[in-house]
Structure formats: C-alpha cells, structure tokens
Structure 1
Amino acid sequence: MDEFTRRKLMASSAAAAIGIGALGTASAADTDTPGAPTVRGDLKRLATTARGAEVTGPFVFENGEVLFSLQHPSRDNPSPYDTAAVGVLDGHRFDFNGQNDEFDELEAPRSKAAQGRVQVAGGEYDILVQEGDPIDGGDAKWGHPETPDGTDIAEFAGSRYGDVGTNPDMNFFVPTDDEGLEGYLFTNNETSPGSITRTPLSRGADGWTADHEAAMNLENQPAFRELGGTRINCYGDLSPWETPMSSEEDYSHPRVSGSATVSDMVDAESGVGLRGGAAFWNRPNPTAIEGALDDLFEESWYPQGTWALGGVEMQAYYLGAEPVDQDGTTNTTEPVGDGYPNRYRYGHIVEITEPTSEEPIPVKHYVMGRAAFECPEFMPDERTVYLASDGSSKGLYKFVAEEPIPSYDDRMDVRGTLYAARVTNDDAAANEPPAEVDLEIEWLALGTASNAEVASWIADYDDVTQIDYLETHAETDWQADLETALAEADEEVAINGNRDYITDAEILEWATQYEERGPDGVDEELRRVPFLETRAAAKEIGASIEFRKAEGIDSLDDAKPGDFLYVGISELNDGMADDEGAVRMERVDGGVVYRAELESDYDISTLEPVVVGPDATDRESIVDAAPINVDNVLVLKDGRVLLCEDKGNFGRSYTNDALWVYEPPTSLHVDSVAVSQEATGEAELTLSSVPDGLAGGHTSVTLEHTDVAEITGASYHDALELTTDPTISDDGSTVEFQFADIEDEIEPGAMDVTLATVEIEGVGSGTTDIVTDVQALDDDEGTAIEAHPRPGVVVTGPPPIGGGGTGGGAPTDPDGDGRFEDLNGNGRLDYDDVTLLFEHIEDDSVTLNADAYDFNDNGRIDYDDIDELYDEQ
C-alpha cells in the first residue's frame, strides 16, 4: 500500500471514529419538543423588516425612539427597501414604564406589498443612511473599505464575505450634548475587510437626520490599517464609559470541526475529516480548499469555517498587498506575498476610543481571546465582560480585568483572566426539553495576560504569507510547478496541520501542563495558546464548547446584583442537542433566550430559559405567533428586552423577520445575605414590578436549613397600611406576611417594590437557600399577579478563629461576596486579618470552613489565599 492510499484510508477511519461529518446537517424531524414554544412573560411584535432582511443592530435613544439595521434585504423589494440601510422607527417611542401595553401589537404582514417593506407598530421606518451612500465629502461610500491608495474594495474580483456594504449590523450612538439628541452613530458592517462607519446624527422638530457629508469609514483611517484593519464586524456593545465595542465575528477561526478536539486528531494520527478551516488561512485561494480535499481524500468533509475564508485576499489588498491573484472575475492560485493578513489579528473585541474626536483610535482587546464573537457585554463594574460566539459548537466566555478597564492609562496595559463556561448539570439536562432545564455553569480559567503581552505573541506571525503555505508544506518548488506544490501542501496540512502557526503539539502540551500546574503554571512560551487558539484550548480542558449560535447578550446599563443578563441562542441544535459532549438536550430549532441572575461579583452560574422558540415542524398558526431564531438582544432601561430575529427555514405565513418586545414576568425576590455566627442581617422581600398596582397579598419566606440560620424578626414596608403581624414559625424557618395597600400608596407601573424586611441570625457555618412562596397576590384591577419566585442565599460565616482569644469576634463579610475577609471581626479588612489567616491556616476553624476563606476560588485552603487576601486590602 502506497503512502497516499494509506493516508486516505486513515482519514476515513478517523472521521468515522470521531463521528465528524458535515456541520449543521442534523435532521429537523423532532416535531414535539415539550415547551416549544414557551414565553415566561409577555411578548409583542413591534416591527417587521422587508423581505430577506434580518433585524440587527437595535439601539434605543434616551428619548425612547428605536433604531435598527435593515440587513441584506432582497433586491426584489421595492425601493428603498431593496438596499441595506439604518433607520429610526418614526412614530414609536418607549415610555420606559416596564409594560407592553404602551403600544398596539403590529399585525403580521400578509400582503406582498407589506412584506416588501419595513412595518412599524404606530409608525414608519425613517431611513437615515444606506449602503453605498456618498460620504466624507463625496470621496467615499458608506460601508465601503478602501485600499491605501483609495481604491474601493468592491472593485476587486475574487471570493467575498458577502457583498460590500449590504450587512450593516451594530448601531450605537455616542451623544455630544446633554439631551442625547446630537452625536455620532457607529455602525458595523459584516464584510472582509471589515467596516465601521461613524455618522453624525441630530434630532430636530422633524425627526432624526444624518450628516452624510461628515460621515466617515473609520476603517480607512491609518490607525485602523496599522492594526491590520478589522474583519466581519458583527454586533457589539456600548461600554459603561461610552465607547463603542465592535465584535469581529471571524467564523474561520476553528482549527477543529464540530465536537472534535486536537487530541482526537493526534490520536488518529491525522486531521483529515476533523480539521477546521483555520488551517487553510494562508492557502492560495483558501475557499477552494473543500474541492481540493475532495480530490485528495476518499473521506469528504467540510472543514468548519471554510466559507468564512472568503474575503481574506480582499483583506490583503486593503492592507496594501499587490493583487497578484486577479484575472478579472475570480481568484487564481498565484500566492499573495508581503502584506498578507495575520490570522491571529482577527476575531477580537475592538474598542473605539476617543469616539467623538477627529480621528477615533481603535484598540483590539487581544486579551479577551479569539472567536466568532457576535457581541460582548461590558458590566457596570468596568472589569467583567461576557462574550458570545456565533456558529456551531462554540464557547461562552468571560473576561475579568484586574482593574477597571478605563482606569488603565494605556489600553494595552489592560490585564486580566479569560474564562470559558462549562455546563455542570449535563446528566440532569440530557434528553430534556430546553424549556424545562436550567443550565448550571462554572467558569474555567484559561489564562491571565495583558493586551500588550498577547499583541507581542501575535506579532510573531505577522510575516506569514501564502508563499509560506507552499514553502513550509510542499516538497515541490511552487514556482516551477504550482499545481503540484499546492496539492502537496494541502495534503500535508490536512493530515499534520499548518506549521506556520501554533501547532497541534503546542496545544496538547499546553493542556497537559494546564492539568498538572494550573493556568498560571504553564511554560512561558505556551501562555499564548488560550489567547490565540481560544476555542481549541478550551475544548482540551473540558469547557462546554457546544453552544449553538449564541448571538445576543445584554443586561441593564446600570445592572446590579439581582438583575439579569440575557443570552440569545438563535438555534438550539447541533452541539447542544446531539449525543456528544455535556449538553445533550432535545433540539429546538427556533432557539432559546436564557437569562442569568447577576451575583454579587457580577458572576453568573445559572442559565434559565425564558423564551423558547417553536419546533421547525410546528403548524403555521404557532410559528406565526412565536419568536424565531432570536439574534441580537437589547435590554431597555425598564427591564424589558428587544428580541431581534434572524429566522431559519420555518413555515410562517409571512417571510419577514420581526422585532419583538419581551416583558419579563413579575418576580418576587428575596435578597441574598451573608451574616456572622450569632449576628444578624437583613434581607428584603421585593416585587420587581406592579404594572397594574398592588391591592394586597399573602406571601411567605422560608429558610431551608435552620442549623445554618434562623428567622428572628420581620417588618413591613411603610407604604403598606393594613397588615397582620408577621408570623414566624417556632423553628425559625418560615415567616408569613399578609397585607393590603388600601390607600393606593403603591402606584401602577411601580418597579422594585419592597414589601417587607426579614431579620436573619447565623447559628452555624454554611449556606442555606431562602425561598419565597405566594399564596395570593392581586393587583388594583382584582387580577391575580403571577409572580415568579426568585430565591436568595444565606451564607453564615465561621466561628471566631482561635476560639476568639486572638481573633476577637466572629469573622464578617464586609463586601457581601460570601467570603469572610474580616477574620478578626472588627468590621473591616486590614493587615491583622492577613496575619490571623497565616497563623491559623491549619486550624479546624479555617480548614473546616473552606468556602469562607477560599479567596483564590480554587476549592481549597492554601497559602495563595493569604496572598489574595493581602492583595484585597
């Protein structure tokens, strides 16, 4: 058997063993997933787009008016709805009262004429700017990047990532006045090279207007080109310090396909059938690789992300490379040399600093990893960032900076830890319908670094070109026989990987050292691995890289613990609903919107389904009334959520995508509280909203473990005039409340209504859930309020260290994070607490209360906890 035949047979058996084939081809024959569809709350259709267009880039101005992008509409629509655009919903304005009764729901578009245009409940779609509009004094086109000599990238032939300018997505407005009626609109355009436009907007008596003359394509500024430009700019975020954050949705980043891992390829002694599209980044005419592999190997497979290699040559020309592969209409295989883009420069979060200056400055947050980022969510602590990645078998990530990000004088000094989510209740979730399963997650630390460190690692690959692909991997001189050299290189890369970039062996060695030494103990030269090959690295250490099309993530701008982070999963299938990995639920092709309650440190640990889409085969009447494939999500300041559709092949009576407004259900929430032993703390009982007022009710609060804490007292809010004395059970586990608002002190539409306060005493170290129950709750119309219970947690601290002799009183938790930093009980964290932990680190009072003193969060007590406590002073 010759080597070529041996390799073909090896490839076929490897793919079969791992179970990898074409992605996204799972059958949609699951017709009866329970709970599909389900909406926990209220939902109304606000707008529908023109035929063929997604709803993307939602934004709500301070005055309540709504803006979104008309992305890639059908060219068959009547003008102006046949051209991509950004527009305002003129005639509709949110009152921010938390209620969907402020507008009449838009009827579904039934006629051909209605389906060919944008429709708005109670208004019109006022277009502000469209693809190709002359801007910047007439010298450029809106959404069109240019080469350094000013040539429109649309003029080049070759593979593309969509038509230039047709995919506007993110929109965020940075005001320049106090009223929020003048400023700059920043819009992403999903193309390669990428495009971020800045358009001046102002609102007068006749509505919003755009200043085309002063609009500019930021991508054409030298500061952007120096970074390699951007690529496939999708959705984004507006940071708490009001800088736009653009996401590079680089689908071509997977180095392994589907659920496969680098270990699988190494074990199989071949990547054929398993390798992803990233390996072929610097191949001449990279999008042609699929056909070339079919010719080389018996096992036909599609390397994940290959389609997104379209436009890579355009990126090179944008950077100034000589366009050697042009023959007038298509790419050739003549390799591009100097100026070819570095693959590790894309797939990042891009911050537009100095957004209102004459020349805004881009910063790529390399330390937040690489993925097909759809969007980030920067939390109010200015340190925590959640990151959603689009596509099949992708991760959910978190980054936590060591200091508030805007506090760094130089953004390249931003330093922090990158995490990937792992689903921990996989057995409980297996084969269950998504509507009935909360996903419990934990965060695996991948590594700690700074932007500057990661940038230095990336720079090591700046000189890699298409010529290197041939000279590194082929034995034949490509200048003498390009066709043979290309085939040899393709075969070698498919089997053994692309040696021009981080190798399979380096990733496995990183993972081995990670398991042995932890994320901060790996060799210096391997620290780059999780930041440059984020998805592959996370897979190797057991993160749940199975999320399917996580396309939206958002929370309140001023979110605090107890508020919610929303995550839109456009389709719940493939990696989330197969027989592989940790997530193996029943499929819902219509997708799911999850929400996660923010904990004291802006962490999240539970994803709760609140909007579940329909099954693909549900009848038309069901599909018409349900949200499908929710993409971007935007949380309004009153807690409602805009849900934007990017629907798949569903049997609606109308073809258009819709913009929905989701009103969460009223929740009865009780605070979490940390108390010391023999001390007391207070937890408030709160209704999230009362759209139609509050007549009265009968509720209770219960502690599940009275050996940890007991209820010792309770009182009502002053607004409640008619009440019974709170009734506390003999064992201190439960208190009951009965009340009425006879003077209508609590007005309809009120939010965060405190009903009562519960006094809790710590009696033993540990934790206990504190839960609520509603026996009756009525509004001012006599209608029952369906309140969704939200539990809290009581954390009771340990007893005094050293028996109280040297330590003083019982330890306390000054910042309420569940860790008892105040070990000596004097009410604050100081150096005496550090020395007390050092002196008693082996005492039972410490070792038997690990949760209280595990300051480095590794699940045990060690000397690094002392270091962490010292750093917190």
Structure 2
Amino acid sequence: MVDLSRRRLMKTSVAAAVGAGAASSGVAAAADADTVGAPSARGSIKRFATTSLGAEVTGPFVFDDGTLLFSHQHPSRDNPGEFSRGGIGYVSGFDFRFDGSNDDFAELPIPTTNEQQSRVRVSDGEYVFLAQQEDEINGGAEQLGVPETPDGVPIDRFAGSRYSEPGYTPDCNQFIPTNEDGTEGLLYTNFETSPGNVTRIPISRTEDGEWEADLENAINLANTEPLRALQGTRINCAGELTPWGTMISSEEEYAHPTVSLTATVSDILEKGTGQGLRGARPFWNRPNPTEIQSAVASYAEADEDFQSWYVQGYWALSGVELLAYYNGAEPVDQRNFDEATAEPDANGTGAEAEGTNTTEPIGEGYPNPYRQGYHVDFRDPAADPPTPVKYYVMGRGAWEMADIVGDRRTVYETSDGDAKGIYKFVADELIDGYDDPMDLSGTLYAPKITNASAAKDRSPANVPLDIEWIELGHATNREVESWIAEYDGITQVDYLETHAETDWRDDLDAAIEEADREVIENGNRNYITDEEIVEWAEQYEERGPEDVDEELRKVPFLETRAAAKEIGASIEFNKAEGVDSVAGAGPGDFVYFGLAEYNDALSDDEGDLRMDRVDGGVVYRGQLKRDYDITRLEPVVVGFDGSDSTEVADQAPLNIDNVYVMNDGRVLCCEDADQLARSFKNDCMWVYQPNVMVDAGAVAVRNGTTGTLDVTASSLPAGFSGARVKLVVSDPEVASIESVSFPEEIALTKRAISDDGSTATLQVTDATETVGQGGRDVTLATLTVRGTGSGTADIDVTVQAMDDEDGDAIDAEGRAGLVVTGPPAVAGGNAPRDLDGDGDYADVNGNGRLDYADVTALFRNFDGDSVRLNKWAYDFNDNGQLDFDDVVDLYEEVN
C-alpha cells in the first residue's frame, strides 16, 4: 500500500453537530445485544410490505399519485401460482400522502402462516402484477427479460454456467412519463443476470386509478443493436432516474475484483505470489471460469505447498460464456444442441441440462471484461430503440446504483460486495450538457475516513464517519473507452496460449492447470498487470494524479477498486448497496447510503474502519454542502445483531439493500435479508420517517459586517404549536448573533441573546395554526450575525422542546449552521489578505506576498466552502460570480 501521509487532502469545512443520538424510536432494543444501538432508528420506521418466500424486495418506485411499484425478484418456485415467478407489480388501493408522516398506513404484522409467507403482503391495498417472467412481449416475438443471440436464439437455450434464469430477477424500475399528467409512460426495468437485460414496457393509468401494461409493445433492450454494439451488459441491478428524464441502469459486475477482500496488488508483489490474494478478474478468460475455485482447492489438495483461498467474485463469472454467445461467439462443445430447432435433443444434455459446461476454449467473440461494470444511461428513452451510453469515466465496479444530485454534475456510487467501497464522480460540466456523451469529462474520487473514533471498536450506531475524497484521476468518456478497446479480441484461447507451455489441443486439462498456476503466481498478462497497477500508485504518490505517465492513466478507471486500495482509500465498506436522495437534491438535502451488512472489513482489526459488528447493516445519510460535497456520514437506521432474540429480530430491519427517497423526505428501505434470528423467512419493505430537522443554514460575511440566516424546520407533518430552540456560536471571536426576527405568521415569539452574542434562545408559538399540517422547510426565525474575525464557526442548534398541533412532542434534532467570515484560511495556516485594499484577497495563502503559490491554493480549493462562501473575496474578474477565469486573472496578476 502506498503511504498517503505526505499527501493529506485539506478538509474544506468545519464539522457539523451530530445532533440527537441514535436513540431507538419505533424499533425494539435488545437487552442482550452485543452492539450498542442495534437495532435503532434516528426517527421512526414501520414495516409496509413482506415478499413471498425466496423473493427480494427490489426496484421501489413511487408515482406522482403516490402509488407504489416494486419488483418480485427470484421467488421460491414452491410458492403458489403467480408468486412462483419473478415479476413487476404495484400496490392497488393505496397511495402515499406525501406529507412526511408514516401515519398514512398501519404497520404490517409479521407473516405467521404458510399462506401469508408464500405471497406478497402489503399494509394497505393489494399487490397486483403488471408483467412476469415468461410473458410474451413485442408481438409475441420475445419473452420478458430474455436476451437472445444475434440470430434470435434465446440465450437460455445454450449450455454454460448461469448467473440466474433470464426473466427471473427483475430489479430496478424507473417510470418515464410520456404525457403531461403522468398517466402514461415507459417503465424501464433491470434484470439481474448475465447477459444482462433492461426491458421497456408502456404502462398507463386507467380512469379508476389502476395501472396496466402494454406487453404487446414491450421490448427487451438487450436485443437491440445499440446495446449489443456495446457488448451488452451484465448483472443489471439498481439504477437512477436522472434529472434529465432518462433511466440509468447500473451493472453489478461482481467478478471485477483483481484482489480478494482486503488484499492489495502490492501485497502480491511483496509476497511474490498471488496465492491467497487474487480475485476473480484474472480468471475472466479462463475456459469455464467459475471452475477456478474448485481448481484452486484441487491444487491445494494435490500440493501441500499450495495455499487454497476464497477467490472473491469467482461465482459471478457465471454467465460469461452466455455473454459471449449473446455477442455472436461460436458456441463450443454443444454436441447435443440441435441448431435447427434451438432446443435440447433427445439426450437432454443441451440447453436446459443443469451443470452442462465445458473447458473447450471459446475463441473469437469472447467479451472484454473492461466493457462491463458501468452505469448505462438510456438516452432518447422513447426512441425505437433508445441510445445506451456507458459512463466509463465514472469508474468500474459492482455498481448497485448511482445517485446524481441536483447540480447534474456530482454522482455518488455504491459498489456491492465485501470491501468494495463508495465513490464519487464530479463532471466538469453538466452531464447532460455535452453534445456528445463520449466527451463527458470529470474526476473520479474514492473516500478516506479520517476520524479516529471510527477505528476504536465502537458501535456504528454512535459514530458518524468523516470523509475526505481522494482524487483517483481525471479523463473523458472517450479516453476511457479507447483504453478499454486495447483489450478487445482477447479470448479463452489467449488464456491458455499466453500462460501455458503445453499445447491445449494436445492436453487441455494440463494446459489449463499450467495456465491457472501461472496466473495465480504472476497475474494474467492478457489484461492490466500487477506491475502497472503498483507503478501507477507509486507515480501517484510521487507526482499526484494529474502527472502519472500517459499509459498508466487508465488504471483508476479500469481497475478502480484495486487502484483505490493502493493509495490508501477506505475501501472497507461492506455491501454498499442503495444510494438515493430526493429528486433534484440540493445543498442541505440528504443522500442516503445503505450498507446491507456491517461486518468483515468494517469490523476487523485493520484499516480506517474497525467498529463493532452489526450483521443487520446500517443506513447512513450525508448532507449535501453548498458545493454538493458530502463530508460526513451519520447512521440513521441500524439493523439488529446476529445475537439478538427472535422477539427483537421479528420487529427490526435487516440487510437493507435498495433505498428510495420519496419527495416528502421519507425513505423506502428494502431488504435482501439473511433472516438470522427471525421467525419468518420473508424479506420486508420498511418506511423510514426521519426526525424533524431544525437547521440554522449558512452565511458568509466580511469581518465587521452582518448577514442573515434562517432557522428552519425540515417538515411538520402533524402541524406545529410551538418550539423552544437554543443556538450557540462555537467561536465568538469569529461571529456573534446580533438580533433575531420572526415570520409574521408566527404571532407569539420570545427571544433572549447573551451579552456577547454567543447564545440565543428562541421560543415561538403558532397560536393561529397558520403553519398547518404538512409544512416543509418552515422558517421559525431569522438570525442576523456579525463577523467579528476571520475563520469559520458553527451555529450549534439544540431543540429543547417542540410540539405538534395536538400538543404531542415532535421528535426533532438540531443541525448546525455555519458562519464564514474573513475570509478564512484556504490552504491551511494564515488567513488570506487584501494586500492593496482593492477588496480582492489575492494573497490567498496569507503569507504576506503575491506569488504562484496563491494561484495554486485558489485552484486546488476552488470548490471548497472557504472559497465558495466568499466569492466576493476571489471574484478577480469582477463579473459577480466565481469561475475559472478568476484563477486565470490571478495568474496574470502574479505574472
């Protein structure tokens, strides 16, 4: 691992207050739990639905009318009737009210009978299928979810390992309206298999409020030429409805790990062997690649000097052969396959035979691993067919999904599996603003957890995570695709002929073993090598990400996880799955991250995260700052422990996978559960209602001048009768509270400000009930603050009391505001200076002189709060805004 101690990134904001602790509300606490706060919720959480046996809750989507839709993924074949097949359905007879309150439904009891456990149950209304596996679509020419070869043969007719049955695993759903009132549109649905698939189904709402599907005009996008031209997709998991009205499908390429679990590539080079360390990717083009795990075990059994290990992601190499056939490769060893009928022959060993697969190598047409594992945007969604665009520049991973926030430039990504991680991408311009999406350019980042408390064996329920984002690299989509193309045309034959001395035509078994052992020891020479990855990291350490050799720039984009590990990023997040925010999320809004399990790399004795286990997982949220950055993740929903009793387990969330933020701020939390101590084996959908947030906002002022910030309540679903709030300035030498005013509609008010302006206590009463139920972002008061020095100060908020219209206490917590004055130090050390009194703070690093270091400091911190909140100090071109021309003007002034 490359030491990052000399390249620490500057934190760009002060820490906000944690607010109220993660006290249980709506979730029972276990008296004998090993981990404090497991289970718990920072707010309330209620069960809305349970699936049938064997089925996951996936693909939640809520229409504008409040109707809930979700997928019924891989159910048990033993369930009765329609519940034995994968499908997509909606809840008839119930609509969410969008008032921010879980009072719009009663909690669904746990399923206790066989009848209850073998069907989909909802709190209110009825789950109705719109489309299911094996349904005929496209005028009878296709089956729902089933990819075909270029010749039109369904892919499940061929021998080869299966990731899952086609059509059996519907996941993400996104609805794109085609009329103004949103009653007609196109439903895009992912299918989690290999080759992957996305279906497009026209659906509409009838006059009586029900939804119906037009399967006659539905299509499998996998079978369209534009997607096949990209070599298709694999394991299409969750996705995103973009701000520009398209669907992004994320490829959960579980087979991408180059190294297993917490190992690094440099560990392999230091050890001199890949035994115990290699992941699945080096075996991508091995004949019958999924057999590598059993092969490793057999080599260890025959050779006492050989070390066996778990090859992370090997099982996800299943379906790679079918992906090859999907792309037109000649099928190998299909001896019992009748090409005339595309059916198994009488011997029964063709298409449908379980376990039929061979090690006969596939030649021309074998897929390139670096073309899988991306986010795919279906542009022109109503076109026939739509245009798929893979965002290669956003990195390669086992992407569960991506969340594009309101600036249309910043993307948060979650990569599913053990020690995979979360990532961030920031585009140089609006993602949808490029005339050609291949010109999309931007920077890829990995996280670094910086607070020491995250590595002290504490409960994740009580420890927020502070994040610095480490730049991995900058490129364009076109550049990354050109690097990927270098590996086109590599086949299973190349695996043998590159790595084995024995001619595979003479002795196939011997050649495979020789090739396996060589790849295990020294890596797969057909793809990016161990040496290239480590050399990239060493140059990164010495020169920075912008100045590595041109031929190594590909490494962080094609080997994202391995590269992030090499430079010390915190790639310990286990099963990072759901990520979502309210549509158009802006500064102050939350992005939610679901970690389905909190164990293994998160709870071991290594790395930046060493906390207590919560096998039931944790949902975090991060608040978007003014520059759409997230610098802290706080736990809001904590699952139960594996040691918890059945009574606790039955009433608490477990392994939350997909998360979906409704437009009233509530969050649908969908399980992919391991059951643990539960009395039932069904997955659940929960609805999380956050506590009311009382937020003091942010303001930037010059020293000696004043500015205002609003104290607001995020939502008041049950109305509002009154509140008492205390506000404290964390550093009175930076700012002070000068006065407080109140909105006219809140008639009864009281205020008390300390003599030094460090504290204000407010009391407000809505005597006329003007605020009313369902209010959102309600202003309670406005503070006038004065800058008294240079720097930053939190406005800490404590909600001492808050009641609804019925006099019942509202669960509320404070969120710190921020005052920036001066302006504050940009690059650490001294505050900036205005050397000539013209109002421009050209001495950015505050060293008393104007030089090139000031230009560098401004450029490197251009998106940070210290600059963004003080644009008046750095608007060198006097156009009233911050832009990169300000950096140019400062450079010209220096020269």
**TM-score > 0.5 by shorter chain:** yes
| Correspondence list, 1:191-590, <5 A | 191-206=193-208, 207-297=210-300, 298-327=306-335, 328=350, 329=353, 330-590=356-616
Post-superposition Cα deviations, 1:488-513, rounded to whole Å, max 9, x if no partner, equal: 10000001000000000000110001
Distance 2:781 2:866 in 1: 37
Give how far 1:802 is off.
Answer: 9.9
Whether 1:760 and 2:760 are equivalent positions in the alignment is no
Residue of structure 1 in register with 2:124 after alignment: 122
**Contact 1:616–1:649 under 8 Å retained in 2:** no
Identity across the alignment (%): 54
Residue of structure 2 in register with 1:730 after alignment: 755
Give SS of 1:81's match. Answer: helix
Kindly tell me: are residues 796 and 198 of structure 1, through their superposed partners in 2, closer, same or farther at Cα, counting changes over 3 Å?
Answer: same
Where do 5+ consecutive residues of structure 1 fail to align?
Answer: 1-29, 810-822, 825-835
**Contact 2:454–2:611 under 8 Å retained in 1:** no
Give how far 1:845 is off.
Answer: 12
Give how far 1:578 is off.
Answer: 1.0
Deviates more, 1:306-315 or 1:100-109: 100-109
Residue of structure 1 in register with 2:107 after alignment: 105
**Contact 1:270–1:496 under 8 Å retained in 2:** yes
Give SS of 1:647's match. Answer: coil
Distance 2:146 2:716 in 1: 48
Give how far 1:798 is off.
Answer: 3.2
Give SS of 1:87's match. Answer: strand
Kindly tell me: are residues 192 and 351 of structure 1, through their superposed partners in 2, closer, same or farther at Cα, counting changes over 3 Å?
Answer: same
Distance 1:848 1:341 in 2: 49
**Contact 1:677–1:799 under 8 Å retained in 2:** no
CA RMSD across the alignment = 2.4
Deviates more, 1:667-676 or 1:515-524: 667-676
Give how far 1:392 is off.
Answer: 0.2
Give how far 1:710 is off.
Answer: 1.3
Residue of structure 2 in register with 1:788 after alignment: 813
Deviates more, 1:749-758 or 1:246-255: 749-758
Counterpart of 1:122, as a letter, is D
Distance 1:687 1:860 in 2: 26
**Contact 1:851–1:859 under 8 Å retained in 2:** no
Whether 1:806 and 2:809 are equivalent positions in the alignment is no
Kindly tell me: are residues 307 and 865 of structure 1, through their superposed partners in 2, closer, same or farther at Cα, counting changes over 3 Å?
Answer: farther
Kindly tell me: are residues 848 and 428 of structure 1, through their superposed partners in 2, closer, same or farther at Cα, counting changes over 3 Å?
Answer: farther
Post-superposition Cα deviations, 1:738-760, rounded to whole Å, max 9, x if no partner, equal: 22211111102212111111111
Give how far 1:859 is off.
Answer: 12
Give SS of 1:434's match. Answer: coil
Give SS of 2:321's match. Answer: helix
Give SS of 1:64's match. Answer: coil
Distance 2:844 2:52 in 1: 66
Residue of structure 2 in register with 1:47 after alignment: 49
Give how far 1:551 is off.
Answer: 1.0
Distance 1:685 1:652 in 2: 43
Counterpart of 2:265, as a letter, is V
Give how far 1:786 is off.
Answer: 2.7
Distance 2:780 2:691 in 1: 17
Counterpart of 1:663, as a letter, is Q
Distance 2:798 2:321 in 1: 61
**Contact 2:833–2:843 under 8 Å retained in 1:** no
Deviates more, 1:617-626 or 1:388-397: 617-626
Post-superposition Cα deviations, 1:57-93, rounded to whole Å, max 9, x if no partner, equal: 0001111101000000000000110000000011110
Residue of structure 1 in register with 2:861 after alignment: 855
Give SS of 2:635's match. Answer: strand
Residue of structure 2 in register with 1:830 after alignment: none
Give how far 1:431 is off.
Answer: 0.3
Post-superposition Cα deviations, 1:554-612, rounded to whole Å, max 9, x if no partner, equal: 00102121110000110001111111211110000001111111100111011111110
Give SS of 1:435's match. Answer: coil
What TM-score comes out, normalization by structure 1 length? 0.91
Which of 843, 846, 849 is matched with 1:843 structurally? 849
Give how far 1:852 is off.
Answer: 7.8
Deviates more, 1:337-346 or 1:661-670: 661-670
Kindly tell me: are residues 239 and 857 of structure 1, through their superposed partners in 2, closer, same or farther at Cα, counting changes over 3 Å?
Answer: closer
Distance 1:448 1:850 in 2: 18
Give how far 1:205 is off.
Answer: 2.5
Post-superposition Cα deviations, 1:469-522, rounded to whole Å, max 9, x if no partner, equal: 011111111122211111110000001000000000000110001011111110
Where do 5+ consecutive residues of structure 2 fail to align?
Answer: 1-31, 301-305, 336-349, 826-830, 868-873, 877-882, 890-895
**Contact 2:35–2:612 under 8 Å retained in 1:** yes
Distance 2:318 2:875 in 1: 49
Residue of structure 1 in register with 2:5 after alignment: none
Give SS of 1:520's match. Answer: helix
Give how far 1:865 is off.
Answer: 13
Give SS of 2:795's match. Answer: strand
Residue of structure 2 in register with 1:26 after alignment: none
Distance 1:370 1:426 in 2: 29
Kindly tell me: are residues 158 and 31 of structure 1, through their superposed partners in 2, closer, same or farther at Cα, counting changes over 3 Å?
Answer: farther
Residue of structure 1 in register with 2:303 after alignment: none
Distance 1:858 1:701 in 2: 25
Give SS of 1:77's match. Answer: coil
Distance 2:155 2:65 in 1: 37
Give SS of 2:547's match. Answer: coil
Distance 2:177 2:33 in 1: 48
Give SS of 2:647's match. Answer: helix
Give SS of 1:643's match. Answer: strand
**Contact 2:238–2:401 under 8 Å retained in 1:** yes
Counterpart of 2:768, as a letter, is E
**Contact 2:855–2:887 under 8 Å retained in 1:** no
Counterpart of 1:790, as a letter, is R
Distance 1:334 1:865 in 2: 66
**Contact 1:172–1:187 under 8 Å retained in 2:** yes
Post-superposition Cα deviations, 1:134-160, rounded to whole Å, max 9, x if no partner, equal: 111101100000000000001111211
**Contact 2:454–2:465 under 8 Å retained in 1:** no
Counterpart of 1:333, as a letter, is T
Distance 2:764 2:857 in 1: 38
Counterpart of 2:660, as a letter, is L
Post-superposition Cα deviations, 1:835-856, rounded to whole Å, max 9, x if no partner, equal: x459998539998999888535
**Contact 2:726–2:762 under 8 Å retained in 1:** yes
**Contact 1:840–1:846 under 8 Å retained in 2:** no
Give how far 1:428 is off.
Answer: 4.4
Kindly tell me: are residues 805 and 518 of structure 1, through their superposed partners in 2, closer, same or farther at Cα, counting changes over 3 Å?
Answer: closer
Kindly tell me: are residues 748 and 320 of structure 1, through their superposed partners in 2, closer, same or farther at Cα, counting changes over 3 Å?
Answer: same
Deviates more, 1:154-163 or 1:768-777: 768-777
Distance 1:382 1:872 in 2: 25
Which of 182, 185, 200 is matched with 2:184 structurally? 182
